[in-house]
Structure 1
Amino acid sequence: MNPTRAKGAPTRLAHRSVAGGQPWPLGATFDGAGVNFAVFSAHAARVEVCLFTDDGRREIARLALPERDGDIWHGHVEGLTPGTRYGLRVHGPYDPENGQRFNANKLLLDPYARQIVGRLKWSDALMGYRVGGAAGDLSFDTRDSAFAMPKCVVADASFDWGDDRPPRHDLRGTVIYEANVRGLTMAHPGIDPSLRGTFLGMSSEPMIDHLTRLGVTAVQLLPIQSFLNDRFLEVRGLRNYWGYQTIGFFAPEPRYMSHEAVWEFQAMVRRFHAAGIEVILDVVYNHSGEADQLGPTLSFRGIDNRSYYKLIGSGRDYENFTGTGNTLNLDHPMVLRMVMDSLRYWVEVMHVDGFRFDLASALARGPEGFEPESAFLDALRQDPVLSRVKLIAEPWDVGPDGYRLGRFPYPFLEWNDKFRDEVRRFWRGDPYGAAHLAKRLLGSAELFDHGGRAAVSSVNFIACHDGFTLSDVVSYSHKRNEANGEDNRDGHNENQSENFGIEGPTDDADVIAARDLRRRNLLATLFLSQGTPMILGGDEVGNSQSGNNNAYAQDNETGWIDWSGADDGFLRFVRRLIALRRAYPVLSQRRFLHGQRRGEDHPPDLEWRRADGATPTDDDWQNADWHSVGVIIRESSEKALPKHETDVFAFFNAAGETSVWLPKGRWFRVLDTADPDAMPQACEGEVYLARHSVALFARDDGR
């Protein structure tokens, strides 16, 4: 099928002069005299730019781009200025069985749009095929979708950055705080109500003050690139809260703006930088919000379906390594270019400090599956801009052999879910807990100590956006996701959680005390481990999601942090943990620890201890009922020049109360989770540890 003209084209076009323009840069670029448009499509027959009134409701011009260089269509429209609303219509064959889905009746978003305004209004007119027809997606729909589409904006991204400088914190001192812009701010009483849920609210004085006092060095924001609400969620009266349905890789999400202006995001970044806090973006380049072959035609599908997506066989169906219906085709050089251009834009123009790549295994898939030297990973590693920012992989996808923890090359960091699960299991008293814990305390060296990678490569966490909050880990044995409308089938079933005999909230003082102690133990283990620690926003104040471990659609009180119920005592404890990690650099080393000596006259860089002071035997490590272990941590033996940093001895006791024999010498007990407000105390020889507790001892400088 080859439609030659979209129905509903304007009968009166605005009088505009369209010159050939340039094939670069891609997108819409204002040059003072007008706007240059450049759009990639390898299989199109014609590309049109559609201009709209300032409110975006009425199409006033449809202008064909007159030139094509290679696969880039381009033209220059004289007299256009920033603020112009526009969209694209792309003509070409509609042949789904061979991967072609052009339909010029559908208004499309420019993949390079720097700003998107308006909300997607779900309608069958958004589909390229006739919904309900016998031929399914092989049919052709002639309705104009412009009324239901958001509009692109010719954006002016110039901004007075002043003396802004990226903090560039060394990974040894990095503490990441994962947060959702709306979730962090919507219920905060100190933030101006008009700014709650926005970039400006996120960087308001109360929030900056909270984060700086907490001691975090980076905020990692859930997706803020323009995304859509899934249709099935709107039918249920819900909406996309997490943001993992990106449709505009260059445009900040409109719902996070209060003035419909790109500068709002830039102002947020500048404020964070002034406070010494880096901004890391959670980015979703593995798929788009267009779903599978029955999804809407919003952008990539209508511009060049065969190029933008990984297709199966002849091309009617999509590869689905992401669980969302499609997978972007980063094997195509122009799709890879789009992703790289997007990343550089966020660094160079928006000044962000790093990225966390959602389902990163999908980004590195080649014909034979996951490839550590894939085009995408190699492009990032050699890029002079991107190789200098923080790069974090979520090292899995849902495709075959998609779990690739520890397989990403330097300089990537990786989310380490083994740390989360095995630390939770240790404190729950599961078998072989001590042996598993020992690996996680040392930065998971068996996974990451290769290819010149550092011990900070492991991003350690106890809780993240996907799963129980820290408070819910100790309050629920089963997920409570009924509000998502999926009959509690969604979300993880294995949470390694424990409710201490009562499911959910309770007034039982003993249960509350046990839960509080478990929370302290879990976070103490996090901050006493080698690697890069990350905490979930709200965990520091005891936030709960009422047992919902998949709050992706809960843009409401369930997903928002409840600041009114903040646990101030626990907040003080978390601040103390972060300060202790900073005070004792041996807790965050770049080199892995393997129990080796630096010469004959130096002790090994780590030593394991039982409670009686003896070195554990092989039988101990293989004992399923061994639930307590101690470790002496010194400077790595691989370090060329030691700085004589203070040694520490940490003991993790998931068993009953016990006496612990300290290593020889005089020590200070600087942390005891059973007595979180205790002051440092000098001690040596035999000390007492309460049941289910963590203690940290620092060697007296006098040794």
Structure 2
Amino acid sequence: MSLDHVMTEGRAAPIGATFDGDGVNFAIFSENATRMVLCLYDEGGRETLQIDLPERDGDVWHGYISGLRPGQKYGYRAHGPYRPEEGHRFNPHKLLMDPYAKRLTGHPTWHDALQGYKVGHKDADLAMDTRDSAPYMPRSVVEDPAFSWGDDTPLRTPIQQSVIYEAHAKGLTMRRGDLDDAGTFLALSSDRMLDYLSDLGITAIELLPVHAYLTDRFLHEKNLSNYWGYQSIGFFAPEPKYMARAEISEFQQMVARFHSAGIEVLLDVVYNHTGEGNELGPTLAFRGLDNASYYRLQPDNPRFYVNDTGTGNTVNVDHPMVLRMIMDSLRYWVETMHVDGFRFDLCSTLGRQNEGGFDRGAAFFDAIRQDPVLCDVKLIAEPWDIGPGGYQLGAFPPPFMEWNDKYRDTVRRFWRADPGEAPALADRLTGSALQFDHSGRPATASVNLLTAHDGFTLMDTVSYNEKHNLANGEDGKDGHGENYSDNMGVEGETDDHDILAARARRRRNMMATLMLSQGTPMILAGDEMGNSQGGNNNAYSQDNEISWIDWDSFDHDFHDFTRMMIKFRKDHPLLRQKLFLHSRERSVDGIEDLFWWRPDGKPMSDEDWGNPDLCCVAMELRMASGTPDYAETETAIFAVFNAGHATEMVIPDPPQGTHWVWRIDTSRHGKHTDVPDGRVTISGASVSVFLLDIHTG
């Protein structure tokens, strides 16, 4: 930087480093700092200037330097008290990333100098460390995020038409040998991948965290990696490793290409905590800028952090400027990067305020619901955290949808033939009304899933009784213990034809159940092709072939079945209604649209539902009143979910001039057979679907 470049006062808004065509405005929040120093760096990483931000409006420090251009590297040093007992951890010896940085040059290099305190000191984190951390820190980078979007506009796919595909931005493409720049945003949106995903029929891809994140030191020292990305350190910057040429336009290009294929892009975002950890973690950004503002600290001992997230710290959403940062980040990804929605990690944490429990009227939810940008995108909550009263399935306000883990567990237990699961399956098939049928929420509020990144894959759910997590370096103690899985007789891989056939049928049954259920279906990437993680149900640290999707072991039969079921769901609006279905005793309009039948053709009774040995659920759906997009030729669907032995089933008498057509039978991969006499044999361990056809000729 030339000495001719002079810093002037600049503006307090927008926060971040903003290029205006002539220079760069720098603005950063800190309520408790006494001095804020901007540090500039050249291409070689050499510091060229340290200069104080000259102005402070409220708690925003700011200054403007003319002549600076995009690509300029920078960081901050914040002065203030180092008094951990009071919650303050300022240390000007530590170079800090800008929380609003739109790009980072890379990741911290682990070294004790990254710690704000003297490692190994008798007083632990109470003694300030004076080593310079700059040699080990990435630089923030000034960016101009302008992009030529052409005619790209939000797809706004109606949620009742959505099929979500949860994927890892790197892992989905790493083992495909026919792609350039494998593991990047560019590979993810390549022609081959778009053709594959479009052909499968998904409407939205939900990416695991793509915000810049940290690999924890304990993982680094075990030669492992933070693969999933749930340790964010930059809420505006894309993860550097996913960019082939270190250009944020690569992300924008990816989104534009997905949109051109009719696929929305949803981001898994982590605003409940940061990668800085607890009081023994590194000082990278938030802790050094204003620890007492950015984090929730224990009221009686602010040296320590509230840990409702289980990761060491909890972001202080109660603070208006921290909430503003989150809202600014969300709007940036919608307005500048054109994403279509978000899935919020540990969303219960964001609903905690004033040191209390969960509140569906918390400031975070109110801020989103009134925001004209964010109220019109898809919002999905992970409805739990580890804090008191943290499990909040069904409690979130509209327009939030929620991951439904009860759906996952019920479907697994039912197809495992666990006693007493039939009534629970009936509830899951019809949108989990007990949890979601209130406050004007639609059935689509339930995001139905069989699997997700956290846990077994679908193939592993039918191949392993136990988790196999030794590769994670935690002696197999990590990972969820209740998987409700079934290895069908052999743990892991086998050549036994009968076991392989049973596993394939179980997967078909589960996928069919997912696509026949009211709610919003979500598929884990790779499940449709039989991907396995070798029984690892917590592969967060496995940035390798354990987690990368195995395209070489592609199960074409199951892929074709999954694609067929997605299309079947799309072709039959009865399966994807926003309104909850109701039997007579629960009908709000006097019109029945849901019927439950016994195998002998009689309606189910309370006594039938109370039978713990019940393992066959027969459901009839009829067109619900107020449904605008049903096909005139479709008035009813009859579906049978039989986890027991072969059963004789009496199909309800069709109206005059109509007849039932047997369209799906998971024991035979499919069926297109008329049912002339209303009596059929339903195979054991199978799903069958019958359509009412008004055509008689």
* Length-normalised TM-score, structure 1: 0.96
What's 2:420 paired with? 432
Give the total of aligned pairs. 689
CA apart distance, 1:291: 0.1
Aligned-pair distance for 1:53? 1.3
Select which of 266, 280, 286 maps to 2:266.
Answer: 280
Call closer, same or farther: CA 1:253–1:601 in 2, change over 3 Å. Answer: closer
Aligned to 1:265: 251
How much has 1:589 moved relative to structure 2?
0.4
Q: CA shift at 1:128, angstroms?
A: 0.4
Q: Which letter maps to 1:701?
A: I
Once the two structures are TM-superposed, the CA of residue 635 in structure 1 deviates from its matched residue by: 2.1
Separation in structure 2 between the aligned mates of residue 246 and residue 641 of structure 1, nearest angstrom = 41
Q: 2:690 aligns with which of 683, 697, 700?
A: 697
Instruction: Report the equivalent of 2:638.
Output: 649
Query: Cα 1:302–1:669, aligned 2, differ >3 Å: closer, same or farther?
Result: same
In 2, Cα distance between the equivalents of 1:654 and 1:372? 38
Q: Would you say 1:235 and 2:221 are equivalent positions?
A: yes
- Cα displacement (A) at 1:682: 4.7
Q: By how many angstroms is 1:293 displaced? A: 0.4
Letter in structure 2 aligned against 1:501: G
Cα RMSD (Å): 1.7
Of the structure 1 ranges 643-652 and 96-105, higher mean CA displacement relative to structure 2 is found in 643-652
Distance 2:223 2:581 in 1: 52
AA partner of residue 682 (structure 2): L
CA–CA distance in structure 2, aligned partners of residues 638 and 158 of structure 1? 43
Change (3 A) 1:35 1:617: same
Q: 2:506 aligns with which of 499, 518, 526?
A: 518
Q: Which amino acid aligns with 1:357?
A: F
1:591 Cα offset (Å): 0.3
Contact 2:574–2:630 at 8 Å: present in 1 too? Answer: no
Alignment partners' CA distance in 2, 1:683 and 1:262? 61
Cα pair 2:77 2:95 within 8 Å, conserved: yes
1:118 to partner: Cα distance? 2.0
How far apart in 2 are the matches of 1:451 and 1:640? 22
Cα 1:620–1:265, aligned 2, differ >3 Å: closer, same or farther?
A: same
Task: Select the residue among 281, 300, 308 that pairs with 1:295.
Answer: 281
Q: Does 1:685 align with 2:672?
A: no
- Give 1:5's aligned residue: none
Partners of 1:349 and 1:283 in 2: how far apart? 16
Per the alignment, residue 77 of structure 2 pairs with 89
Q: Is the 1:671–1:680 contact (alpha carbons within 8 Å) kept by the matching residues of 2? A: no
Task: Assess if the C-alpha contact under 8 Å between 2:577 and 2:627 holds in 1.
Answer: no
- 1:7 matched residue in structure 2: none
Which residue, out of 183, 191, 195, partners 1:209? 195
Answer yes or no: is 1:247 the counterpart of 2:241.
no
Q: Give 1:701 shift.
A: 2.0
Residue 492 of structure 1: CA displacement?
A: 0.5
Give the letter aligned to residue 352 of structure 1.
V
State the Cα distance separating 1:679 from its structure 2 match: 3.8
Change (3 A) 1:113 1:434: same
Partner SS, residue 183 of structure 1:
coil
Mapped to 2, the partners of 1:162 and 1:476 lie a distance apart of 49
Separation in structure 1 between the aligned mates of residue 619 and residue 407 of structure 2, nearest angstrom: 17
Bigger mean CA deviation after superposition, 669-678 or 429-438: 669-678
Contact 2:573 2:631 in 1 (8 A): no
Given candidates 313, 316, 329, the residue that maps to 1:326 is: 313
In the TM superposition, what whole-angstrom CA distance separates every residue of 1:40-89 from its partner, at most 9, and x where no partner exists? Answer: 0000011011011113x211111110000110000001211000010111
Residue number in structure 1 paired with 2:103: 115
Deviation at 1:638, TM superposition (A): 5.9
Change (3 A) 1:418 1:622: same
Q: Write the distance in 1 (CA, Å) between the matches of 2:375 and 2:26.
A: 29
Residue 18 of structure 1 aligns to which amino acid in structure 2?
M
The unaligned stretches of length 5 or more in structure 1 are 1-11
SS of the residue 1:255 aligns to: helix
Is 1:423 the equivalent of 2:411?
A: yes
- Say if 1:598 and 1:637, in contact at 8 Å, map to a contact too: no
Q: CA deviation at 1:583?
A: 0.9
Q: Deviation digits for residues 396-452 of structure 1, max 9, x if unmatched?
A: 001111000000011000000000001100000111111110110010001001111
Report the counterpart of residue 210 of structure 2 in structure 1: 224
Partner residue, 1:6: none
Evaluate the alpha carbon distance shift between residue 684 and residue 394 of structure 1 in structure 2; reply closer, same or farther with a 3 A threshold. farther
**Which residue number in structure 2 is paired with residue 41 of structure 1?**
30
Question: CA 1:37–1:361 in 2, change beyond 3 Å: closer, same or farther?
Answer: same
The 2-side partners of 1:615 and 1:439 are apart by: 17
**327-336 vs 643-652, which moves further:** 643-652
Structure 2 contact 317–353 (Cα < 8 Å) conserved: no
Which of 61, 64, 75 is equivalent to 1:73? Answer: 61
SS of the residue corresponding to residue 456 of structure 1 reads helix
Once structures 1 and 2 are overlaid, which stretch shifts more, 260-269 or 615-624? 615-624
2:135 is matched with 147
Find 1:350's aligned residue among 334, 337, 340: 337
CA distance in 1, matches of 2:286, 2:3: 27
Give the deviation of 1:388 after TM superposition.
0.1
Q: Which amino acid aligns with 1:672?
A: D
Answering whether residue 358 of structure 2 is matched by residue 370 of structure 1, we say yes
* Range with bigger deviation, 549-558 or 673-682: 673-682
- Residues 1:369 and 1:575: Cα distance change in structure 2 (over 3 Å): same
Q: Does 1:29 align with 2:29?
A: no
SS in 1 for 2:166: strand
2:598 to 601, 610, 613: 610
Q: Distance in 1 between matches of 2:629 and 2:671?
A: 35
Q: Is the CA contact (8 Å cut-off) linking 2:463 and 2:488 kept in structure 1?
A: yes
In structure 2, C-alpha distance between the alignment counterparts of 1:561 and 1:669, rounded to whole Å:
35
Q: 1:619 to 1:366 in 2, by over 3 A?
A: same
Alpha-carbon distance in 1 for matches of 2:178, 2:142: 35
* Residue of structure 2 in register with 1:672 after alignment: 665
Contact residue 120 and residue 150 of structure 1 kept, 8 A: yes
Q: When the two structures are superposed, what TM-score results if normalisation uses the length of structure 2?
A: 0.97
Identity %: 56
Tell me, in whole angstroms, the C-alpha distance in 1 between the residues paired with 2:302 and 2:76.
23
Counterpart of 2:687, as a letter, is V
SS at match of 2:64: strand
1:315 aligns with 2:308: no
- Tell me how far apart the structure 1 counterparts of residues 662 and 171 of structure 2 sit (CA, whole Å): 37
Partner of 1:660: 649
- In structure 2, what is the Cα distance between the partners aligned to 1:306 and 1:664? 69
Q: Distance between the aligned counterparts of 1:260 and 1:254, measured in 2?
A: 7
Structure 2 distance, partners of 1:499, 1:122, is: 41
The CA deviation string for residues 470-510 of structure 1, in whole angstroms up to 9 with x for no partner, is: 00000000000000000000000110000011000000000
Deviation (angstroms), 1:566: 0.3
Q: How does 1:59-70 map to 2 (within 5 A)?
A: 59-70=47-58
| Distance in structure 1 (CA, Å) of the matches to 2:41 and 2:661 | 70
Deviations 1:221-277 (A, max 9, x none): 000000011111111111010000000000000000001000000000000000000
Shift of 1:596: 3.5
Tell me if structure 2 keeps the 8 A contact 1:172–1:532.
Answer: yes
- 2:410 alignment partner, SS class: helix
In 1, Cα distance between equivalents of 2:524 and 2:322: 32
Distance 2:241 2:590 in 1: 58
Distance in structure 2 (CA, Å) of the matches to 1:609 and 1:137: 65
- What is the alpha-carbon distance in structure 2 between the residues aligned to residue 684 and residue 631 of structure 1? 19
